[in-house]
Amino acid sequence: MPDTVGTAPQEHGRFDFSAITSRPKLEWPDGARVALWVIPNIEHFLFDRPSSSIIQSTTSFVPDVLNYAWRDYGVRVGIWRMMEIMEKYGVKGTVALNSDACVHYPAVIQAGQSLDWEWMGHGTNNSSVITGIPEDEERRIVKEVVSTITQATGTAPRGWLSPALTETHQTPDILAENGIRYVANWTNDDQPYEMRVRSGSMLSMPYSVEMNDYTAFLEQGLSGRDFGDAICDQFDQLYADGASTGRVMSLCLHPFLIGQPHRAKHFERALKHITAHDAVWLAKGGEIADWYTSTRGR
């Protein structure tokens, strides 16, 4: 695998092709068909640059107060609405956490701790992506993120989702060096799988760019009702598939989006639908990784 930025391999070399129909049966605890993990993205945005936007006409302004404040709704209001809904249905979050959020929003961290949520690394902030940087700089960033989250929560993060799912050619190797056990950047499967890294081990954990409120609302223009329906449809198909081999369903959410009042009701409707079924494992990312590893004898 390449060691320098700018070397672009034609093949990634991280894993071999594997058809899900050819794998040994994956069995979840208590005969569950689907392992559901819900990923709230708790993020911090810098004030001096554009980012996720609902109105494009102001994105060139510095500061862009309109869009900055719209995003800021997530940590001030949206996440609290999400927490209430998730707790009602017994769903624990696996948070994709910007380390800057530990500094700026300690009340959110404290609340997540009280709910027994899991924390995984999500870069420093959501205004800075992991691409086009030297390996030493990326290693410094990952180490700092892991250290900050560990200090804030008392537990080292075992999972990682890069801001905007960005990577360099070295990212999985650097994550493994820093104790990360699973990464959610590769959105190509319904089951975990092993990735090759320089040292140690790494699981790819199923994450979705479709069961994702950012894609649904900002890219596809779906309504809250549409997205709620899509979540239910996704679950129903995975539940049927899970009769033959276990599946993972990720639900990838941003508090400034799904936490809006007109959308949150449909998030609740979807969780009510999912949790009304037997044979569903309401899991956290680390629990899924541990179970998969133990059943595969690694």
Average pLDDT over residues 113-129: 97
Closest-CA residue to 78 (of 268, 258, 225, 226):
258
Distance CA 145, CA 157 (A): 9
CA distances for 156 relative to 9, 115, 122, 181, angstroms? 32, 17, 13, 11
pLDDT band (50, 70, 90) for residue 296: confident
Q: What is the pLDDT of residues 159-201, one digit of tens each?
A: 999 999 999 999 999 999 999 999 999 999 999 999 999 999 9
Residues 128-154: tens digit of each pLDDT: 999 999 999 999 999 999 999 999 999
Whether the CB-CB separation of 100 and 286 falls below 8 Å is answered with no
Whether 44 contacts 126, CB under 8 Å: yes
Checking if the pLDDT of 11 tops 90, the result is: yes
Tell whether the model's pLDDT for residue 6 goes beyond 70: no
Cβ atoms of 283 and 36 within 8 Å: the answer is yes
Tell me: pLDDT of 220 over 80: yes
pLDDT band at 9 (very low <50, low <70, confident <90, very high): confident
- HEC profile of the chain: CCCCCCCCCCCCCCCCCCCHHHCCCCCCHHHCCEEEEEEEEECCCCCCCCCCCCCHHHCCCCCCHHHHHHHHHHHHHHHHHHHHHHHHCCCCEEEEECHHHHHHCHHHHHHHHHCCCEEEECCCCCCCCCCCCCHHHHHHHHHHHHHHHHHHHCCCCCEECCHHHCCCCCHHHHHHHCCCCEECCCCCCCCCEEECCCCCCEEECCCCCCCEHHHHHHHCCCCHHHHHHHHHHHHHHHHHHCCCCCEEEEEEECHHHHCCHHHHHHHHHHHHHHHCCCCEEECCHHHHHHHHHHHCCC
Q: Whole-model pTM?
A: 0.94
Q: What is the pLDDT of residue 8?
A: 79
Q: For residue 143, what are its two tokens?
A: 């180490």
Q: Are 88 and 71 in contact (CB under 8 A)?
A: no
* Rounded Cα distance, 249 and 234, in Å: 8
